[in-house]
Amino acid sequence: MQKLSTQDEWITRAREVLPAGGFGNFDPGIIIARGDGSHVWDENGTEYIDYLIGSGPMLLGHGHPEVMEAVLEQLPKGMTFFANNAKGIELAEAIIEAVPCCEQVRFVASGGEADMYAIRLARAFTGRDKILKFEGGYHGMSAEAQMSLAPERQVNFPQAVPDSGGIPQGVADQMLIAPFNDLGAVEALLAEHDDIAAIIAEPLQRIIPAEPGYLQGLRDLCDRHAVLLIFDEIVTGFRLAYGGAQERYGVTPDICTLGKIIGGGFPLAALGASAEIMAHFDKSLAGEGRWLMQLGTLSGNPIAAAAGLKTMEVLAREGAYDQLRATGQALQEMQTAALEAEGIAHRICGDPTLFDVYFTEGPCRDYRSARHDDPSDNAIYNKVLRENGVFKSPGKLYPSLAVTEADLQATRNAVQLAARAVAGARG
């Protein structure tokens, strides 16, 4: 009887104790043992170039020495207090200095939690109940966010489709769904409904870019109808630019949510807005009935704050974003070259700091159009990439500042093999 590998043993153990054998985040068929710089190793010792980077937060790479030093300096002083701490206050100051819409912030432990509170905050501030979100937009795991995130059946807009069991119909009744990149649809809904509290949007929806003028158009429509604009910058914050999508695109929302990078790899997220809006977290200012109760055991914990502060300090240095974009551009160009050489129709969708390939000739402007003509092409492509040492999500590629020229060359070789495999499978 063949002995199971170390990784197989862990997979077997996981199936006994975890639903579907995993944490719910990623392919449970791989168990990551460690990461260093731009690389990760599985429990069998197989090495990969990491373009998943923890689903975004490890923008500096794994084990960045300056971040490690900041964490190790804080560890003996305390890991969490459920009370204000200096590192958390410093991090709040740094975020406010960087992000245009933030005059004050409130810390939470996860991006989904931040989005949930942002929606609740908009309702409290406006006194209205309905929220407009975009089909395919990801805003965490709250009941509102699980409306039309990845609907398997197409329905007429603005009907909301729950993506999870356990969500009451009443939640769907308070959600309006529109196609991304369609200002006309948004304008029609705002004209028809006078009880919309906010529009919540990813400025880069998963990897679908906003068309020129679209985000400013949302800003203008919100101003015209006295509706709040929420930017979910959990992914784009400190990735598209130091000031996030707000800086990159020059459009300032009323509320934004931040996560991933601001915790430096530790559980931490935040929401921010003007002092007037954020006053609803202060009972003495908001008053009974309009005050938002919010607390969390790990919110603003000093370990995460120390890691986030140091990560932001490194990102603020001259040339950091030029390097990140150059790496992303190189990764895009090598995939285009390899796929064109094999005659494979495709589109690179996203921003150089976050993108992926769609195997299609069609447009990628919203949830319904951004898809592969044949999903098996994508499955083959990603399978061969992983077999050749490239670790990524099946639907996203995250460049990092840790990627080296040697990594790029190895990735180029893997991409060429993957493109040939897709072409070969097509016959």
| Residue 86 within a domain | yes
Q: What is the mean pLDDT of residues 318-329?
A: 98
Clarify whether residues 59 and 177 are in a common domain.
Answer: no
Report the chain's mean pLDDT, rounded to a whole number: 96
Clarify whether residues 156 and 237 are in a common domain.
Answer: yes
Tens of pLDDT, residues 4-39: 679 999 999 999 999 999 999 999 999 999 999 999
d(CA 258, CA 297): 18
Tens of pLDDT, residues 183-205: 999 999 999 999 999 999 999 99
Q: Domain with 302 in it: what CATH number?
A: 3.40.640.10
| Residue 208 within a domain | yes
Find out whether 130 and 193 touch, Cβ atoms under 8 Å: yes
Clarify whether residues 396 and 253 are in a common domain.
Answer: no
| Residue 407 within a domain | yes
Length of the chain: 427
d(CA 385, CA 416): 9
Task: Report how many domains make up the chain.
Answer: 2
pLDDT over 90 at 272, yes or no: yes
| Percent of the chain with pLDDT strictly greater than 70 | 99
d(CA 126, CA 156): 27
Tell me the residue ranges of DSSP E strands in 202-265. Answer: 204-205, 208-209, 228-233, 255-258
| Residue 273 within a domain | yes
Find out whether 64 and 314 touch, Cβ atoms under 8 Å: yes
| pLDDT bracket for residue 288 (50, 70, 90) | confident
Q: Which two tokens stand for residue 246?
A: 């707000």
Q: What is the mean pLDDT of residues 36-43?
A: 98
pLDDT at 289: 85
Tens of pLDDT, residues 53-84: 999 999 999 999 999 999 999 999 999 999 99
Find out whether 369 and 362 touch, Cβ atoms under 8 Å: yes
Q: What is the mean pLDDT of residues 262-268?
A: 97
d(CA 189, CA 213): 19
| Residue 130 within a domain | yes
Phi-psi region of 68 (alpha: psi -120 to 50; beta: other; left: phi over 0): alpha
Fill in the amino acid letter for 183.
L
Clarify whether residues 407 and 298 are in a common domain.
Answer: no
Clarify whether residues 201 and 178 are in a common domain.
Answer: yes
Of the candidates 221, 134, 214, the one whose C-alpha atom is nearest the C-alpha of residue 180 is 134
The model's pTM: 0.96
Q: What is the mean pLDDT of residues 112-121?
A: 98
Find out whether 129 and 228 touch, Cβ atoms under 8 Å: no
Q: What is the mean pLDDT of residues 100-106?
A: 98
| Percent of the chain with pLDDT strictly greater than 90 | 97
Q: Which two tokens stand for residue 284?
A: 């003495």
Tens of pLDDT, residues 387-413: 999 999 999 999 999 999 999 999 999
Clarify whether residues 341 and 330 are in a common domain.
Answer: yes
Name which residue leads in pLDDT, 106 or 5. Answer: 106
- Domain end call among 294, 315, 336: 315
Clarify whether residues 163 and 296 are in a common domain.
Answer: yes
pLDDT over 80 at 1, yes or no: no
Of the candidates 323, 391, 418, the one whose C-alpha atom is nearest the C-alpha of residue 53 is 391
Q: Mind telling me the catalytic residues?
A: 138, 232, 260
Clarify whether residues 377 and 413 are in a common domain.
Answer: yes
Clarify whether residues 44 and 97 are in a common domain.
Answer: no
- Domain end call among 284, 315, 346: 315
- Full residue range of the structural domain in which residue 275 is found: 65-315
Q: Domain with 58 in it: what CATH number?
A: 3.90.1150.10
> Alpha helices of 291-388 — where are they, by DSSP H?
302-315, 320-341, 375-387
| Residue 280 within a domain | yes
pLDDT over 60 at 2, yes or no: no
Clarify whether residues 342 and 258 are in a common domain.
Answer: no
CA triplet 182, 183, 185: central angle to 5 degrees? 70
Clarify whether residues 258 and 378 are in a common domain.
Answer: no
pLDDT over 70 at 3, yes or no: no
pLDDT over 80 at 386, yes or no: yes
Q: What is the mean pLDDT of residues 309-328?
A: 98
| Residue 17 within a domain | no
pLDDT at 4: 67
DSSP string, 414-427: HHHHHHHHHHHHH-
Clarify whether residues 243 and 106 are in a common domain.
Answer: yes
pLDDT over 90 at 122, yes or no: yes
| pLDDT bracket for residue 96 (50, 70, 90) | very high
- Domain end call among 289, 315, 341: 315
| Residue 22 within a domain | no
